[in-house]
């Protein structure tokens, strides 16, 4: 048995924070979308679960036993163990749901090889609020803490996208803590393109306060004449959507010349 999956990078085309909850989480309304690129995972049957991490950002995962991939493996019953190799191409603590995407890929691997239990969504949510969406890896609206999902057909599928991170890790907790608590209104209604165009990311301001270089990334992307650019999730990764591949690649080359130290990834919306 040889299994292979992509852990698709998650972006938030809109992220409206509505209120703080007593349990420490926040009520959200968000438009999840996924890029057809990300981490790479391969697995084969083994006597016990094993994880090997390689790739550019492998060193950021310094405790393999606490890695969300191992917790995802533990969360799902199987007859066999799996030896997993994770090629970590996405930066960590970057607003791309990288760990959640890795867990989602594990769920899909196990689904294909063994099937998933009926309560897999609850098992996924216990690993992280983004994990159920990352298992599906399709455009959807998330509510509650992000686990209440409503699939939506995307009129932006196939749109070229550029991801840019200034190589600064930004953990989610401090960004949410810095949110000012003001409810600025619900997610717009309509097609995905309209929600993306009219929506906002309520965590962008708090994230920029904590990590000012995010504004530099946003300014650079805005000069490339994108259809839309914004920060994803709680940052620090930003994204830009483009009319065609040529415009995206031109923007990528310009950024690589002006900011060779910034991380980039190119792809298309799924």
Q: Quick check: is 177 catalytic?
A: no
Long-range contacts of range 197-201, CB-CB < 8 Å, 24 or more positions apart? 197/228, 198/14, 199/13, 199/14, 199/15, 199/16, 199/31, 200/14, 200/15, 200/16, 201/12, 201/14, 201/15, 201/230, 201/231, 201/232
Identify whether 130 is a catalytic site residue: yes
Radius of gyration of the chain (CA): 18
- Residue 122 and residue 254 in contact, taking contact as beta carbons nearer than 8 Å: no
Euclidean distance between CA atoms 206 and 235, whole angstroms:
10
CA dist., res. 68 & res. 44, Å (int) = 18
Which of 39, 49, 102, 130 is catalytic? The answer is 130
Q: Which positions are annotated as active-site residues?
A: 10, 130
């Amino acid at each position: 048995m040889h299994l292979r999956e992509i852990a698709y990078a998650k972006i938030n085309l809109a992220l409206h924070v509505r209120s703080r909850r007593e349990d420490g989480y926040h009520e959200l309304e968000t438009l999840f979308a996924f890029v057809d690129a990300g981490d790479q995972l391969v697995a084969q049957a083994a006597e016990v679960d094993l994880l090997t991490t390689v790739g550019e950002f492998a060193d950021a995962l310094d405790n393999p036993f606490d890695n969300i991939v191992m917790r995802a493996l533990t969360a799902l019953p199987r007859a066999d163990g799996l030896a997993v190799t994770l090629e970590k191409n996405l930066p960590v603590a970057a607003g791309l749901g990288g760990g959640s995407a890795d867990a989602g890929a594990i769920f899909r691997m196990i689904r294909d090889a063994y099937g998933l239990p009926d309560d897999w969504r609850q098992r996924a949510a216990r690993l992280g609020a983004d994990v159920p969406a990352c298992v599906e890896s399709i455009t959807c609206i998330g509510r509650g803490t992000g686990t209440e999902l409503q699939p939506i057909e995307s009129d932006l599928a196939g749109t070229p996208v550029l991801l840019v991170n200034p190589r600064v890790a930004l953990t989610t907790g401090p960004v949410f803590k810095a949110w000012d608590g003001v409810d600025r209104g619900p997610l717009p209604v309509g097609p995905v393109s309209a929600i993306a165009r009219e929506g906002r990311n309520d965590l962008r301001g708090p994230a920029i306060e904590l990590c000012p270089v995010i504004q530099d990334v946003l300014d650079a992307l805005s000069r490339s004449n994108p259809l839309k650019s914004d920060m994803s999730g709680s940052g620090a990764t930003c994204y830009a959507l483009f009319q065609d591949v040529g415009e995206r690649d031109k923007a990528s080359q310009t950024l690589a010349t002006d900011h060779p130290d910034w991380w980039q990834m190119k792809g298309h919306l799924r």
